[in-house]
Amino acid sequence: MINNSDVISTNVLIVGGGSAGLATAIELANRLKEKGQDKKIMLIEKGSSIGSHILSGAVIRPKVFEDLLTPEEFQEIPFDSKVSTDVTAKLSEDGEFELPFHPPYMSNSGNFVASLGEVCRYLAKIATKKGVEIYTGFAVDDMVYEDGKVVGVKTKDTGLDHNGIKQKNYQEGTVVKADITVLAEGTRGSLAKKVIDKYNLDEGKSPQIYSLGVKELWSVPEGNIEEGAVYHTFGYPLKDKSEFGGGFIYGLTNNRVGLGLVVGLDYPDPTFDIHASMQIWKTHPYVSKFLEGGKIIEFGAKTLPEGGWHSIPKYYGDNFMIVGDSAGFLTTARLKGIHLAIRSGICAGQTAIEALTKNDTSEASLSQYENLVNSSSIYKELYPIRNMRAVMQEGMIIGGLKMGIQLVTGGACLAVPKVEADMDTTKKLSEYKGIKFKDRFPGKLEFDKKLTFDKVTDVYYSKAMHDEHQPPHLVVNNPQEFQKINIEEYGLAEEAFCPAEVYELHFDKEGNQSLRLHAENCVHCKTCDIKSPNGGITWRTPYGGDGPEYNYM
Amino acid sequence: MALTIISLMKQVPLPSEMRMGDDGLMDRTKAKSIINIDCSYALEAGLQMKNENPEAKLIVCSMGPPSFEESLKKALSMGYDEAYLLSDRRLGGSDTFATGLAISTMLRHLGFGKGLNEDFIIVAGRQTSDGDTAHVPSQVAENLHIPQATFIETADLIDGHIEAKRIIEGGYQIMKLPLPCTLSFTPTGIPPRRPTLSGAVRARHSEITMFNIDDINLSDENIGLSGSPTIVAKVTNIKSERAPVKMAEGHNEIELIDSLIDNIKSGKNSLEVKETKAKKVKKRPEGFEEVDFRNGAKGILTWAEVVKGEISRPSLELLTPARHLAQQLGNDTKVMTLLIGKDIGQLAKELIAHGSDEVIVVDDERLEEYRILPFASIFEQVIKDKNPEIALFSATTAGRELAPRIAVKVKGGVTADCTALEIGEHINRKTKKIFAPILESKRPTYGESKLATILGFVCPQISTARAGTFEVPTPDNNREGIITPFSPQLGKDVFVSEIIQTVIGEGGLQNLFNADIIVAGGRGAVVDNLQLVQDLAEALKEQGINAEWACSRPVVDEGITEYARQIGQTGKTVRPKVYIAVGVSGAVQHIAGMKESDTIVAINHNIKDPIFANADFGLVGEYEDILPVLIDKVKNGFKFGLEVK
């Protein structure tokens, strides 16, 4: 039950202004116009503006935009440049080998390199023009239920101090009641997590598994890289079999380069550090040659849901739908989720309009969403490779072979390993037998602040800011257990995996260890919520408007 | 009619994204914009007053391009009832004088002012991040002929009057003001609330009332460049590159400290000076008419601020540039100093010893403590009587509100917070005129990255000088000068505000902005909860140094000390003579808040930490071992190079 004095209402509420949420809004607005109906569509976004929390590679498959937008609108999409070169290379410590062919699903012919933030800003403009009311800088992490059913959300209360005590500028959050609530929060959405949990939407599914992508945007001297050039790397510095992932280097207009390293969070080494791996990766001559003489402009990090078909929860219920990364619509084999996010938004938008017309937003009515997804390109793309990510746990070679078999068999594969949640794959310090991360790269973990950066310096380039006057948005769920398990047994794996130095292991004079939390550094990647051993950390939304200020990520 | 709370608000570029156009004026087109921080505190102050007076109406007013609508909408979403924007291309280039006039004209047009609706309070920010002058609130108050209080931290509306806490050097005052009045707020009170979503929805569907200057009957010669008594003549970059750090060497803390002290005594490393081309000497164009716009105004007037019965140090410092200017002007130009207070006659000699030629003394028991209305009125009368060409104030909290209010009275310009004052000339190639001699007031701006030269064309040319920039002149007790008693006309109406209490001492962390030495503790200095850091600051104070202690962000995060002490991007930006960083690793965010310090000393256990790349003197060691030794040295007279001054 809600006991709030500040209540507003709308027909459709979309939580999250990324590609999925904006596509839902636009599709809905288009259909409303077709039908001559007048319904209120409200979209709220926690970033200070649309795009400020958007980060992607990105190489975009444009096809789906043609279905969402008019030809005139499609023409104006601010893609950065058309893919011109497309190379995949295997890196080793002392060299590289460019593959003479594209791995399956990896061809980027006809695709565009883009800043997804720019594309989202454009979509937001279109949505606004079509009557969608977009409110940025409002964070939500509570659903509102009535009679056990979703009826809307409540924005965060603000004006609390570090301990949650109301201050003189306290403002109660606003309850937004909606006929349909669409959760489009991106990976590991705080509300999606609650709804999935409340209604057991993941029953019978594999756990969702994730990758973390750490990205930098550079400005480089003319001639370092061609616009539209796309390079993907695998191998160095990642360890085959246990660290699944690779790097990307994209040539952008105005002599800019977007580059990053994406690594699966199902690795075992509790000291493994993806941010540091990305720094080491940049020192490989194959990568560093693109950056020579340049300087960093932006930094950011984001997780990607990579579980694929088997990890997608049921993504609708009474009065709500889940779209995009929040539902897990992403094709690992292509390293792409934007086109699926938009497709899911289109499906959700179409479902919503029919439901509103029928005045029936029940689960049965919204099950149309699943039908639409299953007859869309989402199914066609995800189902055949449903076992792909699971077999990659066995490494690029065996996994690659099994993947090849799947392509022949339409996705069936013998001996598919069981997928474990990422937080369960980390080994305790005492149980991890491999060489620890920092011993693998002697001398490479001193960052020169020209080519390579420590986390705090990189965070500076994310422009992340958080109001100091608020309860920490990273919640240690059980401080006693955290001390015993996460700190003493795992040596604070969070310190290693967090790309933004939010977690620090502090030693006092007597050698006692404790956690120091620097919530202000957070870039909202949510890795801690995903990877903390024993589910030690819950990532909650901080106040709206806080977090990174991405510009061209 | 119910009370109206009027908030004056300016939208500014995000300080990190500020750019300047080729004309030396702010280019507001590219940067992302926010509500000026101080203004957002004023907005909150207005909302707090409404809490206690629910029937009050809240309105927000601004002046600027239509893009300011964004911030006005935000104010509406925070809870304001109505928003007004004065927007007109003809306002472009307005200085603070013209801005103050335009805003007060708009307020009169809305029905507020003496003789109109008088049931109102104006709340404004202390200053803006893109102007940094703190002039406009004073100038609006003067134009509306209402009392004011600036540098306010909190204010309450009690029984029809305002009780406000005003931050002053090293302390605070509790003031009582009648309505109507203008209050300007520091960003240290109650932080601005965040808009609610319902507020944002309401704001989206509300209208903002736009005015152009014709709507409010403001003629265009009073605004824009033509209505502005000052112009920005030149803007140059300030370079702040630091030479490599000098590291202390030694095998134990005693040797290390001795080495550090030796290093400090022998001075910083110097940067390799790149050879620069000799500056072209600009030829004075021929055939231009030379204009002496002074019209007989002559002499330099300064204000001697009295605090606790003594002349404040910044007022003595002020005599250094005053004498310098008098010498440049030549022709027997005099330095006159206005001394106001109760039983202060004996201080006149001290002023003469420090460089005044004439001390004008106003001795009145009602003037024991500084209050803006009587002081501004006295200045107006003295200026009329003495007709000085230049008037200088130190940029203290009092000086920074008094100077702009006087400027409105004499219809002249004022330049805030100068670090250099010179006599020069201004060549206007369009009108083929040379204005000389003219006061060139130079002030750092745009986050201390640029030095702007401001010129005023009305006498007296008024400037405030940044405290600590100039040295106190060496006193000469044999210097001769005259002491002139002056009896101003002061009506009851200038004594409507009362000072209930003045507290000077600890507290008021504004002193961080004035301290000569700041000892800052970081995460690496918290084992004893910064006790040694505080001890070092205390030891310096005992040596008579204006020292203060501060900290970096993690220390505040951990609740060891209060936010007011935080230095850095999200805390205070300081520029003491010496900044001693203890256990501060030197994250870029911290460096941004202290990099303009004259000398930076870093004491830290990890040589790899970036603090050393940003310091002049470094010492690697455990602070628990090092600081006690250093404190002993301070107790024995070591003052980090400030001994000589």
Q: What is the pLDDT of residues B115-172, one digit of tens each?
A: 899 999 999 999 887 877 889 999 999 999 999 999 898 999 998 999 999 987 766 7
Q: Are the folds of B4-228 and B289-502 the same?
A: yes
Residues from chain A contacting residue B190 (CB–CB below 8 Å): 167-169
Residue of A nearest to B202 (CA): A8
- pLDDT at site B507: 43
A173-221 pLDDT, tens digit each: 999 999 999 999 999 999 999 999 999 999 999 999 999 999 999 999 9
Average pLDDT, stretch B355-361?
97
In three-state secondary structure terms, B535 is: helix
- pLDDT at site B314: 87
**Angle subtended at Cα B447 by Cα B443 and Cα B453, rounded to the nearest 5 degrees:** 20
- pLDDT at site B506: 45
| CA distance to partner chain B, nearest, from residue A50 (Å) | 13
Q: SS3 breakdown of chain B: % helix, strand, coil, rounded to 5?
A: 30, 30, 40
- Among the partner-chain residues A158, A446, A468, the one whose CB lies closest to the CB of B194 is A158
Is the domain spanning B246-268+507-635 CATH 3.40.1800.10? The answer is: no
The span from the CA of A46 to the CA of A25, in Å, is 16
CB contact under 8 A, A8 and B195: no
- Among the partner-chain residues A176, A456, A508, the one whose CB lies closest to the CB of B587 is A456
DSSP B157-189: EETTEEEEEEEETTEEEEEEEPSSEEEEE-TTS
Interface of A with B in 117-156 (CB under 8 A): 133, 135, 137-138, 155
The whole-chain average pLDDT of chain B stands at: 89
Chain B contact probe: residue of A154, A456, A508, A552 with most B CBs at under 10 A? A456
Amino acid at site A524: H
* CA dihedral (B466, B467, B468, B471) positive or negative: positive
Residues from chain A contacting residue B201 (CB–CB below 8 Å): 8, 133, 135
Report the CATH number of the A7-74+118-205+313-385 domain: 3.50.50.60
The span from the CA of B604 to the CA of B608, in Å, is 10
Contact with chain B for residue A19, Cβ under 8 A = no
CB contact under 8 A, B192 and A446: no
CB contact under 8 A, B557 and A44: no
Strand (E) or helix (H) holding A168 = strand A166-171
The span from the CA of A548 to the CA of A286, in Å, is 29
Residue of B nearest to A45 (CA): B197
CB contact under 8 A, B588 and A460: yes
B281 phi and psi, to 5 degrees? -80, 120
Place B569 in a pLDDT band, splitting at 50, 70 and 90.
low
A73-97 pLDDT, tens digit each: 999 999 999 999 999 999 999 888 9
Could you tell me the fold of the domain covering B289-502?
Rossmann fold (3.40.50)
CB contact under 8 A, A167 and B190: yes
Query: Is the per-residue pLDDT at B563 higher than 60?
Result: yes
- pLDDT at site B28: 52
CB contact under 8 A, A171 and B553: no
| CA distance to partner chain A, nearest, from residue B558 (Å) | 8
- Tokens representing B371 are 């209050």
The span from the CA of B583 to the CA of B421, in Å, is 39
B8-67 pLDDT, tens digit each: 999 998 765 555 554 555 555 556 789 998 999 999 999 999 998 999 999 999 999 999
- Among the partner-chain residues B16, B190, B204, the one whose CB lies closest to the CB of A169 is B190
Residues from chain A contacting residue B44 (CB–CB below 8 Å): 169
Specify the CATH class of B4-228 in words.
Answer: alpha beta
Average pLDDT, stretch A341-355?
97
Contact with chain B for residue A165, Cβ under 8 A = no
- Tokens representing A449 are 């602040």
Contact with chain B for residue A198, Cβ under 8 A = no
| CA distance to partner chain A, nearest, from residue B23 (Å) | 27
Residue of A nearest to B193 (CA): A169
Average pLDDT, stretch B466-485?
90
Domain boundaries, chain A: 7-74+118-205+313-385
Residue of B nearest to A502 (CA): B554
Domain boundaries, chain B: 4-228, 246-268+507-635, 289-502
- Among the partner-chain residues B47, B193, B198, the one whose CB lies closest to the CB of A8 is B198
Chain B contact probe: residue of A50, A157, A458, A468 with most B CBs at under 10 A? A468
A240-290 pLDDT, tens digit each: 888 999 999 999 999 999 999 999 999 999 999 999 999 999 999 999 999
* CA dihedral (A218, A223, A228, A234) positive or negative: negative
The span from the CA of A12 to the CA of A24, in Å, is 10
Residue of A nearest to B585 (CA): A456
- Among the partner-chain residues B193, B527, B557, the one whose CB lies closest to the CB of A171 is B193
- Among the partner-chain residues A135, A456, A465, the one whose CB lies closest to the CB of B197 is A135
B308-348 pLDDT, tens digit each: 888 988 899 999 999 999 999 998 999 999 999 999 989 99
Instruction: Indicate whether this complex's ipTM tops 0.95.
Output: no
Q: Is the pTM here over 0.90, yes or no?
A: no
